Structure 1
Amino acid sequence: MTTPTNTLRGTLPDLAPRRQSLAQRLADPLFAVVTYGLIAITMLVIVYPLYFIVIASISDPNLVQQGKVVLLPKGITFDGYLTIFGTSTIVRGFLNSVVYTVVGTVISVTMILFGAYALARKDMPGRNLFMILFVITMFFDGGMIARYLVVKELGMLDTMWAVVLPGAVGVWNLIIARTFFEQNLSPELREASQLDGASDFRFFFGIALPLSKPLIVLMAMIHIVANWNAFFDAMIYLSDESKYPLQLILRNVLIQSQASASGMDMASMDSTAAAQKMGELLKYSMIVVSTIPLLIAFPFLQRYFVKGATLGALKS
């Protein structure tokens, strides 16, 4: 039988504050200072280049080259933005990029989800063989000429499909998605749904996809970035300038502005130096214009990105 004295003795150690040595008391504040200091330095290293690009895009290029633009813009001018948005090809390229990004992301995410779920099913005949064939493509490539001939024979040259279809499925993303399904969709869950009369399609659309929101957002973010920044496939497969995406148009504008004083209203400039000055403005302005959409969208999806990447890449 427990006596009141024993009970009191058993509770006193729990109520008493823990004694800390002087070293421990000094270590906690020091650790906090060092940690927050490193975080602040890291944020500064990441954020300042972005901030510098913004202020450089509205500053006098001569002052930027002289190193006089550090924290605040100087010689403020919006000629770079006026030149970009005053050209119809830039606006059309922006709309083309939006279309290519939306269509390409939908196609890629759909194909990866269907393919990964099938490869995650252990009762799928030949799934190991299919996986080997997919992995082989990660190490061996037919090359640019072979891809061009395939796109040409399929009749996709100078069309949107030449931009969004050749790289629609990334094998690494397929592996991540397959691992996610294997770890989060147990065979017992599928068997329970089958006992309730659910078909494979109903299980996939009614149970698997709702449980895969982090994976879907992860795949969508990866392909949004890839499709938005892509220009090489468009440069190879598209010949009609009205179908060029934004990145390809901005690339061509930058090359033209640095090479000569012609194009993009530069014919009225008096010297090559003036054209180079405009080229510097265009360079920074185009970086801002092309990255703003992604910077706006990503903070809202970051938590899904981290969760999806962790669940898809690590084994619990």
Structure 2
Amino acid sequence: MTITTRDPRTESAPGPVAEPRRPRPRARRNSRRPVWDEEPSLPATALKGLALTAISFLAIYPMFAVLATSLASQEEIVEKNGLVLWPDSPTFAAYEQILSGGVVTDALLRSIGITVIGTLCSVTFTVLMAYGLSRPRVVGGRFWLMSVLFTMFFSAGIIPNFLVVSELGLLDSYAALVLPVLISAFNLVVVRSFFMGLPQELFEAARIDGAGDFRILLTMVLPLSKGVLAVVSLFYGVAYWNAFFNAMLYLDMDKWPLSMILRQYVLLGQPVADNAAMASEMAAPTQAIQMAVVVVSLVPIVVVYPFLQRYFTKGVITGAVKG
């Protein structure tokens, strides 16, 4: 009888036992990706293009009609019932009339001065207050922040504001157009949120080097905040340029800015000439002069806006989210 022995060196180790394959679950027929993850179809793309084209047309058409009417003659305006889309013989008589040193020219210069000075003052005080409220362990910081937020939802009203301006001796003064609206609560919150989102290590390193608050603000914070400052400056500038209600309440007629002249002449139909004799000697048609005043009031904003548009997303959204 022969006995065989197994050699463990030559015997191969048993391989792993293969598990039985499980059937894959069937994909649901109704399962779809979110709308924002789907590939845009050709009809959807065409529909979006038509919608954007229609919206652009509705925005550009009134501005083009205003510009064309300001360049039209009296015969064309009467013939086309006051709406000229393409003047046959364009003329700049309306612009020469309003920019020849009369009421509109003086009001334009006043508006430029109020807008520039008011924007500089508002941005300066907004930055100073926002930087102070953004620093930790500020005495009374939460109280002042809550006070600012309170003004976003509740206002004193016209009569209390008028009484305050009158008691401060600001009636018939350009300061009445700046001081009551010096700091906007919304702009302050945006700038404060942006400052709070800056790296705290920069402030700590500057403190170690012996820098004070004003030096940190001027040399470190402001160079990093160009986007939000540009957007806030545009907000303040547009607000000062278009403001007319405070001017109507606090200023005499000889100090009115361009927005009040625009309201007085275009909406109320009253002439902008210095006197009735000059109004009767107008070379340009009345409606052309009205449209020319509208164009002159729109030009500064239209010129400045494209240069600051690229800062909108970086300034406003970043300042609003980081807070």
Q: For the superposition of Structure 1 and Structure 2, which TM-score range results when normalised by the shorter chain?
A: 0.7 to 0.9
| Residue 120 in structure 1 maps to residue 137 in structure 2 | no
Question: 2:78 maps to which residue?
Answer: 62
**CA displacement at 1:265 relative to structure 2:** 3.0
1:63 shift after superposition: 3.5
Alignment CA distance shift 1:264-1:305 (3 Å) = farther
Partner of 2:11: none
Residue equivalent to 2:15: none
How far apart, CA to CA, are the structure 2 residues paired with 1:182 and 1:199?
A: 17
Partner residue in 1 for 2:278? 265
Post-superposition Cα deviations, 1:62-81, rounded to whole Å, max 9, x if no partner, equal: 244266x34x2246444432
The residue that corresponds to 1:150 in the other structure is 164
Report SS of the residue matched to 2:181: coil
Aligned residues: 280
Instruction: Report the CA distance shift for 1:256/1:52 in structure 2 as closer, same or farther (over 3 A).
Output: closer
Structure 1 stretches of at least 4 aligned residues deviating more than 6 Å after TM superposition = none
Is 1:309–2:316 an aligned residue pair?
Answer: yes
1:225 corresponds to 2:251: no
Partner in structure 2 of residue 251 of structure 1 = 263
SS state of the match for residue 141, structure 1? coil
Distance 1:264 1:77 in 2: 23
The reply on whether 1:49 has 2:62 as its aligned counterpart is yes
How far the C-alpha of 1:138 sits from its partner, in A, is 2.0
Deviation at 1:268, TM superposition (A): 5.2
Q: TM-score, normalised by structure 1?
A: 0.79
The whole-number CA distance in structure 2 between the counterparts of 1:232 and 1:284 is 21
Tell me if 1:191 matches 2:207.
Answer: no
Q: Percent identity?
A: 35
**Helix, strand or coil: the match of 1:209?**
helix
Q: Secondary structure in 1 aligned to 2:121?
A: helix
1:95 and 1:83 map into 2 onto residues whose CA distance is 16
Among candidates 294, 302, 305, match of residue 295 of structure 1: 302
Which range moves more in the overlay, 167-176 or 246-255? 246-255
- The answer on 1:94 being equivalent to 2:108 is yes
- After superposition, the C-alpha distances for 1:181-232 in whole angstroms (9 at most, x for unaligned) are 112x232221121112222221111101110000110111011111111111
RMSD: 2.7
* Residue in 1 that maps onto 2:177: 163
SS at match of 1:251: helix
Task: Give the corresponding residue for 2:98.
Answer: 84
Structure 1 pair 198/66, CA: closer, same or farther in 2 (3 Å)? closer
Calculate the TM-score normalised by the size of structure 2: 0.78
Residue in 1 that maps onto 2:288: 281
Are 2:87 and 1:73 equivalent residues in the alignment? yes
8 Å CA contact retained: 1:56, 1:64: no
Distance 1:264 1:120 in 2: 59
Change in Cα spacing, 1:187 to 1:247, as seen in structure 2 (3 Å) is same
Q: What amino acid sits opposite 1:61 in the alignment? A: I
Q: 1:130 is matched by which residue type in structure 2?
A: W
- Partners of 2:87 and 2:269 in 1: CA distance: 26
Q: Secondary structure at the match of 1:257?
A: coil
Q: How big is the shift at 1:173?
A: 1.0
CA pair 160-36 structure 1, distance change in 2 beyond 3 A = same
- Quick check: which has more Rg, 1 or 2? 2
Change over 3 Å in CA distance of 1:27–1:188 after alignment to 2: closer
The corresponding residue for 2:120 is 106
Unaligned segments of structure 2, at least 5 residues: 1-38
Cα distance in 2 for partners of 1:172, 1:27 equals 37
The structure where helix makes up a greater share of residues is 1
Q: Is the 8 A contact 2:115 2:237 kept in 1?
A: yes
In the other structure, the counterpart of 2:186 is 172
Paired with 2:316 and 2:79, the residues of 1 have a C-alpha distance of: 43
